[in-house]
Amino acid sequence: MVYINGEFVPKSKAAISVFDHGLLYGDGVFEGIRAYNGYVFRLNEHLDRLYASAHSLMIKIPLSMEGMRRAVIDTLKENKMKDAYIRLVVTRGAGDLGVDPRKCSKPTVFIIVGSISVIPKEVAERGIRTIITWIRRDPVDGTSHEMKSLNYLNSILAKIEANNAGVDEAIILSTQGYLCEGTAENVFVVRGGEIWTPPAYTGALPGITQSTVFEIAKKIGLKIEERLITAHELFNADEVFFTGTGAEIVPVTEVNGRAIGTGKPGAITARISKEFQRFTSDPANGVPIA
Ligand code: PMP
């Protein structure tokens, strides 16, 4: 069952207007969230990010944050799901054929619960092959991924390039040429025992998994910082890994034909991945489906 504007409808009947500006213009915001064993991981952080994205885009979400929390939990309960991938979408709503958001009287809210396989498990275990692609992230004075909007065309163009090159994923640079992120993942570089990740001002999404990795690194005593990273630093890293709600923690073992470190998933990535599993199974890090 899919939640649409306060009602549950079967998947086959779940539909929105063709005049919805989410569809016509990518005018909307969303979150991808996971539930692990009866707890929605970092739900409050996801809702904070959703409402922040909507605030920048001046979309007035027709539910309070508490109401939205309830809607997510109720959708999981309605589907009797304890482990799930949750897609929460708020669009500008139906309007006319022009871009003017003032013509859209009411935002559309829908919640789909299901599963997702961003990178197949066996691929993630051996480490993934990537390319740095020609398409750049939108700048921070454009449709930057600091806002989690429905505008994913530059990720899709990057993914097409990865597909064409026969590799698993693409790495996207900022307009300045610094490392930014993957198509739907944040990126981390390990060098000399230190962990680096690009700041959101490169145009990357401030990831919930990314911030969890900061907590993990601090817990296990590893130095971690946000920092501008060049392609040269990336090629010469000891380890590289991606993070994301869908992808979780994924080692990157090749970038544009260059082996990263030994060319095999690294020890620090493995430690972080193991700790991440502990974090996702700790009820203290989630909201119960109750
Ligand atoms: N960057 C982009 C562009 C994404 O779509 C995602 C997935 N939401 C991420 C990074 C990872 O963010 P998170 O850990 O919050 O899922």
Domain total of the chain: 2
Q: Which of helix, strand or coil describes residue 9?
A: strand
The residue contributing the CA closest to ligand 1 atom 10 is 185
Same domain for 274 and 132, yes or no, is yes
Same domain for 161 and 236, yes or no, is yes
Q: Is the shortest distance between the CB of 145 and ligand 1 below 6 Å?
A: yes
User: Which candidate in 148, 159, 218, 219 is catalytic?
Assistant: 148
* Best of 186, 209, 249, 273 for a ligand 1 pocket test (most atoms within 8 Å of beta carbon): 186
Same domain for 44 and 65, yes or no, is yes
Domain end point (choices 114, 138, 165): 114
Q: Are strands 286-288 and 39-41 parallel, antiparallel or unpaired?
A: antiparallel
Full residue range of the structural domain in which residue 64 is found: 2-114
For the segment 9-38, what is each residue's pLDDT rounded down to a tens digit?
A: 999 999 999 999 999 999 999 999 999 999
pLDDT computed for residue 115 by the predictor: 87
Q: Are strands 2-4 and 39-41 parallel, antiparallel or unpaired?
A: unpaired
| Residue 148 is a catalytic residue | yes
DSSP 73-108: HHHHHHTT-SSEEEEEEEE--B--SSS-GGG--S-E
Q: Is the shortest distance between the CB of 149 and ligand 1 below 6 Å?
A: no
Q: What is the reported pTM?
A: 0.96
Of 36, 6, 8, the closest CA to residue 245 belongs to 36
For the segment 89-131, what is each residue's pLDDT rounded down to a tens digit?
A: 999 999 999 999 999 999 999 999 998 887 888 888 899 999 9
CA of 97 to the centre of ligand 1 (A): 30
Parts of the chain with a pLDDT under 50: none
Does residue 286 form part of some domain? no
Same domain for 152 and 262, yes or no, is yes
Same domain for 201 and 225, yes or no, is yes
pLDDT computed for residue 117 by the predictor: 80
CA of 88 to the centre of ligand 1 (A): 14
Does residue 288 form part of some domain? no
Domain holding 206: CATH number? Answer: 3.20.10.10
Q: Is the shortest distance between the CB of 138 and ligand 1 below 6 Å?
A: no
Does residue 103 form part of some domain? yes
Same domain for 139 and 173, yes or no, is yes
Domain holding 86: CATH number? Answer: 3.30.470.10
pLDDT computed for residue 269 by the predictor: 97
Domain end point (choices 98, 114, 130): 114
Same domain for 96 and 141, yes or no, is no
pLDDT computed for residue 187 by the predictor: 98
Q: Is the shortest distance between the CB of 203 and ligand 1 below 6 Å?
A: no
Question: Which amino acid is residue 149, in one-letter code?
Answer: S
